[in-house]
Amino acid sequence: MGAGRRGLITAAVAVVCAVTVLTAPGTAFAAPDPTASPAAGSGTAPALAPNKDLEAVRRQLETLYHEAAVATDAYNAAEEKAKRQSAQIVELAKKIVKGQEKLAELKDRAGAAARAQYRGGGLPDEAHLMLSDNPQEFLDGAGRVLQGQRATKGLLGEMARTQQDLELYAKDASTQWKKLEAGRKAKAAATKKVEQRIAAAEELESRLEKEDKERLAELEEAAARQAQTTWLDSGILDDIDGSASEQGKKAVEFATAQLGKPYEWGAEGPKTFDCSGLTSQAWAHAGHPVPRTSQEQWKQLPHVAVEDMRPGDLVIYFGDASHVAMYVGDGAIVHAPRPGRTVTVAGAGSMPILGVVRPDA
């Protein structure tokens, strides 16, 4: 590889490192080998082994896309939370409307009672009763007065409770609005981070020539193949012989039917997917809804040992549970890898496995 091309790759690495540091203060990233930097004032890069610069690029892209995946999970979580909060606000609004209608009705009834008393000369029922000369009428009236007092007391109590309910609903609605606004800001921050990381990765890739892009793809495939080989050499497949459940089969059928569709962060189909969008939709199609994000799938779904996994189970990757795929058998997974890629089949051990969860345990 010529010195000019090596200089281009080295410059690309330097650019993406600068962009990454500027967009994420306080976050450390692996820098290229110091020998890859041009000598001061020379304008050219020293000779390096051909793959060394590209390996640095591969690792930097891996870091950027991983951070984009983490931010995508944060975006998806904020989106799901916003949906729930919006639904709660709608329900509270309905309760407030009903409460206001009930309070208006109670006030009308109270007003009618007051008007009836006014038409009776302004004297309370007890006074009218005492002025009666008929003993039986007195006794009958005493019962009616008692009933009227109880009704009035009940009416006033119901009005007070309705008013308290309205105040509580209004307070809850205000709290939900504040949470919704906080969620909107969290979603906006996650969106910004996703876009920054993807833009930085695309900027780095755009600086590579066609031949280097092809060799970079080969390096990525070699790294995944080596990880899968190491995983298989552990003898793990000797212990994995579980059969898919009926729902698991449906989930696998849905996931594999999406092969070739583009990755798009935040997408749940039908034309594009991100990693957890694919797995959550597959299990929803199978009639067993699961959490939307890979992190929540890891937190909420039952865990099973890797050697006990069966087709349809979800394999969670990386220590932060930032990626998820569906196991389809024979040591393979179906997943939506990252921006610029499509839903594909890969080795289950081609990435660091955090653990396995089973939606229909």
> Which residues are known to be catalytic?
275, 323, 335
Per DSSP, 6 falls in state H
How far apart CA 229 and CA 35 sit, in angstroms, is 32
Does residue 287 come out as left (phi exceeding 0), alpha (psi in the -120 to 50 range) or beta?
Answer: left
How far apart CA 274 and CA 74 sit, in angstroms, is 13
**Considering just the CA atoms, what is the radius of gyration of the chain in Å?**
34
Closest to 277 (Cα-Cα) out of 38, 64, 42, 72: 72
Tell me the DSSP string of 163-216. HHHHHHHHHHHHHHHHHHHHHHHHHHHHHHHHHHHHHHHHHHHHTS-HHHHHHH
CB atoms within 10 A of CB 293: 28
- With tokens 């309070």, the residue in question is 103
Residue 72 Cα to chain centre, angstroms: 8
Cβ atoms of 251 and 282 closer than 8 Å: yes
How far apart CA 128 and CA 150 sit, in angstroms, is 18
**Alpha helices (H) along the chain:** 3-23, 50-119, 125-130, 135-206, 210-233, 246-257, 275-285, 294-300
Tokens at 95, concatenated: 């309760």
- With tokens 């650019």, the residue in question is 15
Cβ atoms of 243 and 310 closer than 8 Å: yes
- Cα angle for residues 185, 79, 63 (degrees, 5° grid): 80
